Amino acid sequence: MPFNLLQAETNNALNYFPIVIQIIFAIGLVFTIIWGSNLLGPKRKTSDKLQNFESGIEIKGNARQPMAIKYFLVAILFVLFDVEVIFFYPYAVNFRELGWHGFVAVVFFVASFLAGFIYIFKKGAMKWED
């Protein structure tokens, strides 16, 4: 049997039917659970139940106070440099097959992130003093 004919037999739309059924079942289950909890759940709304819950701590002040941008900057920088580590995994798994070409690509990748780190360090993004 030729390879193309074998591939045509195994790769058709009917093979995806169980996945479509599973997706339909999952969506139906989600809607059933939401509808059931709305139907069976309690409906007494009092002022105590409608108040925001802050882990048992009394609410003080306004939640809309301005916050220092340093927190957001550090969070964004953490995500940026954390994602870099994710890209090292495929290289570590396949480093022998990639050879010197892969090594040069990883060195360029690390150098670009190191240049970005030096840039943000020189701009003062890591200084906490105001």
30 class by beta-carbon count within 10 Å (0-12 exposed, 13-18 middle, 19+ buried): exposed
* Nearest of 110, 105, 63, 61 to residue 85 by alpha carbon: 110
Separation between Cα atoms, residue 77 and residue 28, nearest integer Å: 40
Q: 112-128 pLDDT, tens per residue? A: 888 988 888 888 877 77
Q: How far is CA 51 from the centre of its chain?
A: 31
Domain boundaries, the chain: 3-122
Please answer whether residues 128 and 70 qualify as being in contact, where contact means their C-beta atoms are separated by less than 8 angstroms. yes
> Does residue 130 have a pLDDT over 60?
no
Q: For the domain bounded by 3-122, which CATH number is listed? A: 1.20.58
**pLDDT (0 to 100) of residue 54:** 67
Give the 3-state secondary structure percentages of the chain, helix then strand then coil, rounded to 5. 70, 0, 30
Separation between Cα atoms, residue 84 and residue 6, nearest integer Å: 41
**pLDDT (0 to 100) of residue 2:** 53
Q: What is the helix (H) or strand (E) element at residue 43, kind and residue range?
A: none
Q: 44-85 pLDDT, tens per residue? A: 888 877 777 667 677 777 767 777 777 788 888 888 878 888
